[in-house]
Amino acid sequence: MSATPRLIDPFQRAVTYLRVSVTDRCDFRCVYCMSEHMEFLPKAELLTLEELDRLCSAFIDLGVEKLRVTGGEPLVRKGIMTFFRAMSRHLGSGRLKELTLTTNGSQLRRFATELVDCGVRRVNVSLDTLDADKFARITRWGRFQQVMDGIDAAVAAGLSVKINTVALKGVNDDEVHDLVAWCGERGFDLTFIEVMPMGDLGNEDRLEQYFSLRDLRSELATRWVLTDTQERTGGPARYVRVTETGGRIGFITPLSHNFCESCNRVRLTCTGQLYMCLGQTDDADLRAVLRKHPSNDAPLAEAINRAIARKPKGHDFDYSRQAVSGQVPRHMSHTGG
């Protein structure tokens, strides 16, 4: 039986899900996430692995039951498996219900077995195309076959794999049926995500990239029979079942269908900034509290509660009237998605 949630926001939503970015670095430079020539944060600004442990443990003490590790690319952080092993103790105690991660897949061959040993049971792999040349253009630095090999290693290790695909108009909108078929054949869940107006990426135009998932779903319905379900995995996706494959497709629609009414999550950056909403700029500096009180967690718990009390009703993302509004200046890689 779950304990009574202790983190309740002003709109009576229980916050039970923490997404934590462990690094802003990545071995890819995806066009919707990073500039090609990123300036990364000085290492001194990053939380140490011990500080990440302490912060995440504080959230778990306050009722967080799901922890998703993100980046950048989380598996490029030196010593990251030390953190996963530390978090696994909360799985053993029963206070943490799920420990998982979102990855680009490049390092899964190296770490899949150890992740399973730490209690990770499923991973989300970001994959926007099945075309190797297109993959190279989208990721700039990515190696398609390395990702495919990583996915194979994850499956062999016993991990459940979900594919996350950012819908990009004029880029991968011609592959949506292929992605559904490929995931169906492999038994993978597939989630489509609308591109969000985050970061100054120079030559990348958010409005030109935006592909409404309403339109995407209409396109899928020309080939597949889609049945709405009430299934949830603790995140913002709405799911359908595909009759022909038996597979499940999720739609994350921060723009065409705002999902904020059921938001149960907050995001912790690799520098200790807590964002109560992905689409707002208000944050709480937990690193300062952490370092000011190295042996006393009570002020940290107080700071977390004060931050949750400021959690907004929703974000302001909007692409209407051929203009981008509600844009957030920080890069997605800094926030962890």
In a 13 Å sphere around the CA of 122, the CA atoms on its Cβ side amount to 14
Task: Check whether 125 is labelled as a binding-site residue.
Answer: no
The pair of three-digit structure tokens given for residue 175, joined into one six-digit string: 């592959």
Task: Check whether 57 is labelled as a binding-site residue.
Answer: no
Tell me the DSSP string of 261-294: GG--EEEE-TTSEEES-TT---EEEHHHHHHH-T
- Please give the Cα distance from 119 to 133 (Å, whole number): 35
Strand order in the sheet with 160-167: 226-228, 238-242, 248-252, 189-194, 160-167, 122-126, 98-103, 66-70, 17-21, 265-268, 273-275, 283-285
Task: Check whether 56 is labelled as a binding-site residue.
Answer: no
Task: Check whether 266 is labelled as a binding-site residue.
Answer: yes
Largest alpha-carbon pair distance within the chain? 60
Task: Check whether 30 is labelled as a binding-site residue.
Answer: yes
Within its chain, how far is the Cα of 27 from the centroid? 17
Task: Check whether 19 is labelled as a binding-site residue.
Answer: yes
**Which residue(s) pair with 265 in the sheet?**
17
For the chain, the first-to-last Cα distance in angstroms comes to 30
Task: Check whether 247 is labelled as a binding-site residue.
Answer: no
Task: Check whether 17 is labelled as a binding-site residue.
Answer: no
CB 313 within 8 A of CB 262: no
Task: Check whether 265 is labelled as a binding-site residue.
Answer: yes
**Which residue(s) pair with 267 in the sheet?**
19, 275
Task: Check whether 33 is labelled as a binding-site residue.
Answer: yes
Annotated binding-site members for S-adenosyl-L-methionine: 32, 72, 126, 196
Annotated binding-site members for [4Fe-4S] cluster: 26, 30, 33, 260, 263, 277
Annotated binding-site members for GTP: 19, 68, 102, 162, 265-267
Annotated binding-site members: 19, 26, 30, 32-33, 68, 72, 102, 126, 162, 196, 260, 263, 265-267, 277
